[in-house]
Amino acid sequence: MEPITIAMPKGRILEDAIALLNRANIPCPDLVESSRKLIFETDDHTLRFILAKPTDVPTYVEYGVADLGIAGKDVLLEEQRDVYELLDLNISPCRMSVAGRIDQSTAFSPRIATKYPRIASTYFRQQGEQVEIIPLNGSIELAPIIGLADRIVDIVSTGTTLKENGLVEKATIASITSRLIANPTSYRLKKRQVVKLFEQLKSVIGGQGIWNGDPVKTSTF
Ligand code: PRP
């Protein structure tokens, strides 16, 4: 039987994801980030894990090179890939927020720096506010401090990065947790294996599943 391939996000979610797999008794080879190895297989060859950049996990799953993946809701909302969202894993909680300087005055068509241009545009369109989106790849909190942007849209977890840079949250756009996602074809063709993993995970996360026989595709927040 072909192994089920699971795309795992490198970085901050990985530790929580591995702990969850362990709790669910899903055999998980030692996915150590410091070794540069990117593919791991269980001894019985039933499961294969690939380590991907978090924003790329839905891409691997959409193209079917991974049957399943673990991805943050932030990435799912931003990437809008053609994948099924099976289960809220309830790990790595944080929020997508608008933040800025306390003393920030309101500008016409303010500039918004973000790693999430799609989420930011959708949010401000829904708010009826005209903004200019400035896409950045990291250290977003720098933008309002040095005058590149009026506000930012970014993930807030502990709030430390905002605090240490003298910024405050102005609004919350969405609550974010990590999700189990599936390739739609794998979901049909490998349903028995997929359901088994789903049930194992669901049994340890307290039934926050959104699976009701008809998996949903990620759309809006
Ligand atoms: C993320 C996010 C914030 C920070 C929030 O950045 O973009 O900057 O974490 O976490 P906190 O509320 O616990 O301080 P990340 O560490 O992924 O690095 P980046 O700035 O390079 O995107």
**Ligand 1 lined by 147 (C-beta under 6 Å):** no
Over residues 40-85, the pLDDT tens digits come to: 999 899 999 999 999 999 999 999 999 999 999 999 999 999 999 9
CA of 199 relative to ligand 1 center, distance in Å: 32
Are 8 and 46 part of one and the same domain?
yes
Residue nearest to atom 3 of ligand 1 (CA): 155
How many domains, in total, are found in the chain?
2
CA of 158 relative to ligand 1 center, distance in Å: 9
Residue 113 belongs to a domain with what CATH number?
Answer: 3.40.190.10
Are residues 86 and 198 in contact, defined by beta-carbon separation less than 8 angstroms? yes
**Ligand 1 lined by 55 (C-beta under 6 Å):** no
Kindly report the pTM of this predicted structure. 0.92
Are 79 and 185 part of one and the same domain?
yes
Are residues 90 and 203 in contact, defined by beta-carbon separation less than 8 angstroms? no
Are 25 and 76 part of one and the same domain?
yes
Over residues 147-190, the pLDDT tens digits come to: 999 999 999 999 999 999 999 999 999 999 999 999 999 999 99
Q: What is the pLDDT of residue 104?
A: 76
Q: For residue 54, give its domain range.
A: 4-92+177-217
Q: Which of 98, 67, 103 is nearest to 83 (CA)?
A: 67
Q: What is the pLDDT of residue 211?
A: 56
Are 56 and 108 part of one and the same domain?
no
**Ligand 1 lined by 156 (C-beta under 6 Å):** yes
Are 125 and 157 part of one and the same domain?
yes
Are 81 and 105 part of one and the same domain?
no
**Which phi and psi angles does 188 have, rounded to 5°?**
-80, -50
Are residues 169 and 156 in contact, defined by beta-carbon separation less than 8 angstroms? yes
